[in-house]
Structure 1
Amino acid sequence: MPSILDREAIVAPRQFNRWLIPAAALAIHLCIGQVYAFSVFKIPMMGHFDTGEVAVGWIFSVAIAMLGLAAAFGGTWVERSGPRKSMVVAGTFWVAGFLVASLGIATGQLWLVYLGYGVVGGIGLGIGYISPVSTLMKWFPDRPGLATGLAFMGFGGGALIASPLSNSLMAFFGGGTDPANLEAGLLQTFLTLAAVYAVVISLGAIVIRVPHPDWTPAGWDPSTAAAKPLQTTANVSADSAIRTPQFWLLWIVLFCNVTAGIGILENAAPMIQDYFDWITPAAAAGFVGLLSLANMAGRFVWSATSDSWGRKNNYMMYLGVGLALYLVIALMGGANVVVFILATMVILSFYGGGFSTIPAYLKDLFGVFQVGAIHGRLLTAWSAAGIAGPLIVNSVIEAQADSGLTGASLYSLSLYIMVGLLAIGFLANLLVRPVHPKHHVPEGRDREKEYVQ
């Protein structure tokens, strides 16, 4: 008898409501999306461990690096094991990461926070991020961009919930909103978040299902669906996909798009204050919230439109228009605060849209066969960007400050570097062509038995 976690135990009846699947995926993405709100712990942790911003900031970088590595190495296992087992394993690692980090906070050992939130939690991030991808594609063969957009919107929106929730919890347990009070509430906050995330992820795992082999969306006939450029009816395995130029072109595309987004995210609050010296810290915090909303909205809106516009065309927009907007900020961003805010919000919407569009882009090129595993391997570009982006931006700003520059001048060079990266990504996307048939899995091969359901 199969375990209740196995793929064979979660095959849905033909009449199952497929719209429950994005909700289940949203549950885990809202939880692991907390990583984007980690900055709310920076000052309390700096005080608690009596250390600097760089030492605490590396916790986030380690988590993002582990996300990419876990997604890359665990992708094939996720495909084979199914979404429920993957979500349970991801949730276990994510919650365990908070518990280990809590031990580090309680004992004053920063290395345990690196190990817990960074390494253990990062593994949960990677497995959890890709766990619903393949399943969503199978439930929404007619609208894969819409489905992944709904789910990945949660990853961008997780910070919108986690940031105020974490601050409120630290203030509640610490007895006030002063830095010393927030620091005092760190331990209980981490333990509470662990409990909340365990419950929410468990609920998502209970709901998740894989479609019945004979199920198709009502009224949808794949044989009559209009073919779009780059879309294939064939399939490519994960091992073969990484041998294709298309995979590495998309790796470059994702790396450039993510690094450019981080170019804004990494220093959003101080950046707007340096461009406009009348902006208060509270207003700068509101600006960061607007960027989070743009990130979240872009994950849904742009991914959904890619179903009609085409994935390659969407990326031409992300990279080409993003390049132009970076130039606008570099050349005249300090002249008008409205132009600055709108330009950065659109860039962040492209950043989010790039994440949620890439699974459907992979499905178009490589088929649905092992798209989750291929997606996992591609996310190593995110890991690289998560390290390279902050390193580039912070190093340039520090060098400019050492040269005596101030205000908007601190950012000009890093903005032009991002323009160059987006140009490289634009060219890489332009070169994407259909995958050569030599990489396709033979039609006679029993794919369902050997790899996935």
Structure 2
Amino acid sequence: MTTIQENFAGTERPTERPALLSRERTVAQAGFNRWLVPPAALAIHLCIGMAYGFSVFWLPLSRAIGVTKPVVCEQMPLLTALFTTSCDWRIADLGWIYTLFFVLLGSSAAIWGGWLETAGPRKAGVVAALCWCGGMSLSAVGVMTHQLWLMWLGSGVIGGIGLGLGYISPVSTLIKWFPDRRGLATGMAVMGFGGGAMIGAPLADRLMGIFADETGVGVWQSFLVMAAIYFVFMMAGAFGYRVPPAGWKPDGWAPKAVAPGKAAMITTRHVHLRDAHKTRQFWLIWIALCLNISAGIGVIGMASPMLQEIFGGRLIGLPELSFTQLDAKQTAAIAAIAAGFAGLLSLFNIGGRLVWASASDRIGRKRTFFIFFALGIVLYALVPSAAHLGSQALFVAMLCIAISIYGGGFSTLPAYLADVFGTQFVGAIHGRLLTAWAVAGTVGPVVVNYIREAQIAAGIPRAYAYDYTMYILAGFLALGMLCNALVRPLDDKWFMSSAELASLQAKGAQTRAVETGSFGIDRGRFDLPTLLAWLVVGVPLLWGVWMTIEKTTALFN
């Protein structure tokens, strides 16, 4: 076996040391443990995942001037709300930040995904930290001066760009480090994005409790403290990134052999970024992803009111009372239960990202997506029946599994793309696919919200107002299953030649190439530095899980 020293022996050393953030400085040295890369990715994803938990700020910000109660200005246009200093903001106006998050996430990932492949994950991670934490700091100024447009610009636009770059920064790197466990590797990282709100939301709640007084609600101070904490974690994650030398593979691992004349679903070749979107497979996966996300995000956005309006008094042992018949005290009681339900969905969202992605390593990505759609169709179609039977446990179980599918789709996608398009540009291709998220983030909530409103306006009882919605979402999944079924291995014409690939890798400064061998990396080795790195990200994540479980107990009491 060729040793790493022998591989370096004939390599001409550069005359100048590469820049600190350059890709050259991130090429791993001999003896590097690949299990250090997932916690670096988690350090970034757990921070930017707070985007899911930003709604914790909405109610306090809606009384930023009044402090104890909102200062309401009737019929205030949105343009006026952006600049007013005398009226408190409406939650609907603040909610646009959430929309901007995911629109900018998808678009920035698509725009700068190609740059990331050449600049390297470290530089992308640093830019993501500056954007996400800088955006929160600018939002703090917006709260201090009561300028909503600064919050939109800070967290929504600048922070949204940070979301996109931070989300895709580890994808290509992890897939190249773990060709033998692509699903597990990306699942570990993307799990962090789903878990960020579990840490950030209770942290924000505690910080606001510390800083709030008779003159303010404590939001801008919380923004600054969280921005500082996130900046430390994200910079540590960015500088923890390493990329493997070109040609590296785990010791003893080799791609599965393919029978002569038969195309493999997992390719060993690579498609150039300029050609990926020209293929039918790209758009089939794009549509399938968009439909899966539309169904999942539509349910997540309405999970709390759905549970309350469907079961009403049943949630507190008063089955004879519908939601509209409850008094204020009873409504508050079921709202607490619904909050526990939302927390439970978060746990299944996170767990699904890891479990489904890991399972895809064994059963294949296309089969995993088939299970997503087939199982999802059954669940969404039967949810109304479970609701009308009054089976709260069955209803909750069905939606928890459905949301695990939603999370699993995100975590399995990068490995699916690597299987179809190869790994050379998988990060950039993944970035372009995430435009489906931006579309789905609009389609899903619109379908759920407007159909619900139309049903209630037509006189349909609230307990039945979601039936058609669930059937339509099941139809979305049926179309997604058809698209997934049509995905086939790419024709030879789409793959780069060996000469073109070698030229690209040379330009990418992965100069310390190796042909075979473990590069001094022990598969599965957890030494002390690796264990400490996992503890740094694991302890906050476990704290968030514990806080969520505490809230979830209300659902079963």
TM-score (normalizing by structure 2): 0.78
Q: Which residue of 2 aligns with 1:190?
A: 223
C-alpha contact 2:310 2:462 (8 A) present in aligned 1: yes
- TM alignment of 1:243-322, pairs within 5 A: 243-278=278-313, 279=315, 280-322=334-376
Runs of 4+ residues deviating >4 angstroms: 223-229
Q: Which residue of 1 aligns with 2:544?
A: none
Q: Which residue of 2 aligns with 1:94?
A: 132
- Give, in angstroms, the shift of residue 50 of structure 1: 2.0
C-alpha contact 1:397 1:411 (8 A) present in aligned 2: yes
Q: Which residue of 2 aligns with 1:422?
A: 477
C-alpha contact 2:311 2:387 (8 A) present in aligned 1: no
Q: Which residue of 2 aligns with 1:70?
A: 108
Mapped to 2, the partners of 1:224 and 1:325 lie a distance apart of 37
Q: Which residue of 2 aligns with 1:448?
A: 505
C-alpha contact 1:270 1:284 (8 A) present in aligned 2: yes
Residues 426, 222 of structure 1: CA spacing in aligned structure 2 closer, same or farther, 3 A cutoff?
Answer: closer
Mapped to 1, the partners of 2:228 and 2:459 lie a distance apart of 48
Task: Identify the match of residue 25 of structure 1 among 20, 41, 44.
Answer: 41
Residues 45, 228 of structure 1: CA spacing in aligned structure 2 closer, same or farther, 3 A cutoff?
Answer: farther
Q: Output the amino acid matched with 1:272.
A: L
Q: Which residue of 2 aligns with 1:388?
A: 443
Q: Which residue of 1 aligns with 2:517?
A: none
The alignment of Structure 1 onto Structure 2 pairs a total of residues equal to 448
Q: Spell out, residue by residue over 1:343-398, the C-alpha distance to the aligned partner (whole angstroms, 9 max, x if none).
A: 00001100000000000000000000100000000000001111121122111122
Q: Spell out, residue by residue over 1:400-421, the C-alpha distance to the aligned partner (whole angstroms, 9 max, x if none).
A: 2222233221211221221111
Q: Which residue of 2 aligns with 1:204?
A: 237
Q: Which residue of 2 aligns with 1:230?
A: 265
Structure with the higher helix share, 1 or 2: 1
Mapped to 1, the partners of 2:240 and 2:23 lie a distance apart of 13
Residues 442, 164 of structure 1: CA spacing in aligned structure 2 closer, same or farther, 3 A cutoff?
Answer: same
C-alpha contact 1:299 1:355 (8 A) present in aligned 2: yes
Mapped to 2, the partners of 1:304 and 1:121 lie a distance apart of 30
Mapped to 1, the partners of 2:439 and 2:372 lie a distance apart of 19
C-alpha contact 2:447 2:469 (8 A) present in aligned 1: yes
Cα RMSD for the two superposed structures? 1.8
Q: Output the amino acid matched with 1:27.
A: A
Q: Output the amino acid matched with 2:446.
A: L
Matched, 1:46 2:62: yes
Q: Percent identity?
A: 48
Q: Spell out, residue by residue over 1:172-203, the C-alpha distance to the aligned partner (whole angstroms, 9 max, x if none).
A: 1115xxxx89x611111111110011000011
Q: Output the amino acid matched with 1:405.
A: I
Q: Output the amino acid matched with 1:439.
A: W
- TM alignment of 1:126-137, pairs within 5 A: 126-137=164-175
Residues 272, 228 of structure 1: CA spacing in aligned structure 2 closer, same or farther, 3 A cutoff?
Answer: farther
C-alpha contact 1:14 1:214 (8 A) present in aligned 2: no
Mapped to 2, the partners of 1:164 and 1:50 lie a distance apart of 24
Q: Which residue of 1 aligns with 2:122?
A: 84
C-alpha contact 2:271 2:494 (8 A) present in aligned 1: yes
Mapped to 1, the partners of 2:507 and 2:279 lie a distance apart of 22
Q: Spell out, residue by residue over 1:193-218, the C-alpha distance to the aligned partner (whole angstroms, 9 max, x if none).
A: 10011000011112111113364213
C-alpha contact 2:114 2:273 (8 A) present in aligned 1: yes
Larger Rg: 2
Mapped to 1, the partners of 2:492 and 2:95 lie a distance apart of 45
- Give, in angstroms, the shift of residue 452 of structure 1: 7.0
Q: Output the amino acid matched with 2:479.
A: I
Q: Which residue of 1 aligns with 2:25?
A: 9
C-alpha contact 2:258 2:264 (8 A) present in aligned 1: no
Q: Spell out, residue by residue over 1:138-191, the C-alpha distance to the aligned partner (whole angstroms, 9 max, x if none).
A: 11011110000001110011111111111111111115xxxx89x611111111
3-state SS of paired residue (2:59): helix
C-alpha contact 1:69 1:380 (8 A) present in aligned 2: yes
Q: Spell out, residue by residue over 1:65-105, the C-alpha distance to the aligned partner (whole angstroms, 9 max, x if none).
A: 00000000000000010010110011110011101111111
C-alpha contact 2:299 2:448 (8 A) present in aligned 1: no
